[in-house]
Amino acid sequence: MPTDPSPQAATPWLPHHDVAGGALAAATHIGVLLHGIFGSARNLRTFAQSLSGALPGWTWIVADLRNHGDSPGAPPPHDLDACADDVRALCRALGVAPAAVVGHSFGGKVAMQLLADPWPELRTIGVLDTHPHLRWHDEAGTDGVDHVLRVLGQVPQPLARRADVIGPLTAAGIDPAVAQWMTTNLRAASDGYRWKFDLPAVVQMLDSYFSTDSWPRLRAVPAGMAVHVVRAGRSSRWTPETLVDLRALAPAVTLHTLPNAGHWMHVDDPAGLCAVLVAALEGL
């Protein structure tokens, strides 16, 4: 397996990661899975195991993005380029050059950043319900990330129990399922439960996400690479015009739709998502 996915100098800070499937050294192909904002590697472990089972010879690195999960203490700036560099540094430290990087939501934009300077073995980018260019105002409403951020910042900490976060979130109009999921983002401290993520740093990450237009990267996919955009059929992020523009980028970019999935497609339709990715990757 090649040992240097990019020529950049090594960085002292590395994101935490899990491995799903066989040992990295024994893998025929290696992929990287990236979660979205407020997520963690933990959210993708079950799906990663299903994916490795459906793709014999594949092993998946499931990473915690900076400021999330078990990846605290990353140096600034906290933007998409830094997140992409973190992926490169992690792969370099592990001595691997993955053939695929698949990212959900924010993680999908991190994956698209790698199109600017991919390592030679990188063949496929998977983009899971990630619009190429959303803006802050596109995420209005009680389910929008701006509202969620404000509410999270107002939750008193420490909390005596994980479940104590659910009441304040649902009272602010956040969906009960999202509030329940947020309990996984609490870590036990000596005085109670506190957020795992660094909220000010997450705001910087989101500023970069909303200000970055990924359309130019999709319009200039390097030769020999393929991008697979998987749209959640029940997601509100997609307009008819966006879908037309994406289809016009074929064959370098392929648009897939999971009609019965919402934004959390790996939870809503894991079998359908797995089938799409297996079809995209099994020929590598």
* Domain residue limits, the chain: 17-133+212-281, 138-202
**Is 174's pLDDT higher than 80?**
yes
pTM: predicted TM-score of the whole model, two decimal places = 0.90
What is the rounded distance in angstroms from the CA atom of residue 93 to the CA atom of residue 195? 28
Q: Which run of H or of E encompasses 193?
A: strand 192-195
SS (H, E, C) 223-252: CCCEEEEEEECCCCCCCHHHHHHHHCCCCC
What burial letters (b/e) apply to 10-21, b meaning 16+ CB within 10 Å?
Answer: ebeebbbbbbbb
Structure tokens, 215 = 């359309």
Contact between 197 and 228 (Cβ < 8 Å): no
**Is 241's pLDDT higher than 50?**
yes
Tell me the mean pLDDT in the region 260-284: 93
**Is 130's pLDDT higher than 50?**
yes
Residue type, 205: M
Q: Which residue has the tokens 């899990």?
A: 18
Of 40-49, 176-185, 204-213, 264-273, least confident by mean pLDDT is: 176-185
Predicted local distance difference test score (pLDDT) of residue 137: 62
Tell me the mean pLDDT in the region 241-249: 97
Pick the closest to residue 62 from 50, 73, 74 (CA basis). 50
**Is 142's pLDDT higher than 50?**
no
**Is 45's pLDDT higher than 80?**
yes
pLDDT digits (tens, 9 = 90+) for 94-127: 999 999 999 999 999 999 999 999 999 999 999 9
DSSP, res 30: E
**Is 2's pLDDT higher than 50?**
no
CATH for 17-133+212-281 is: 3.40.50.1820
Tell me the mean pLDDT in the region 2-14: 59
Predicted local distance difference test score (pLDDT) of residue 138: 66
pLDDT band at 71 (very low <50, low <70, confident <90, very high): very high
Structure tokens, 154 = 């107002």
Structure tokens, 30 = 């290696």
Contact between 230 and 128 (Cβ < 8 Å): yes
Of 62-71, 230-239, 272-281, least confident by mean pLDDT is: 230-239
Residue type, 39: G
Q: List Cα–Cα distances, 277 to 19, 72, 95, 98, in angstroms.
A: 18, 30, 24, 15
Structure tokens, 265 = 């497609």
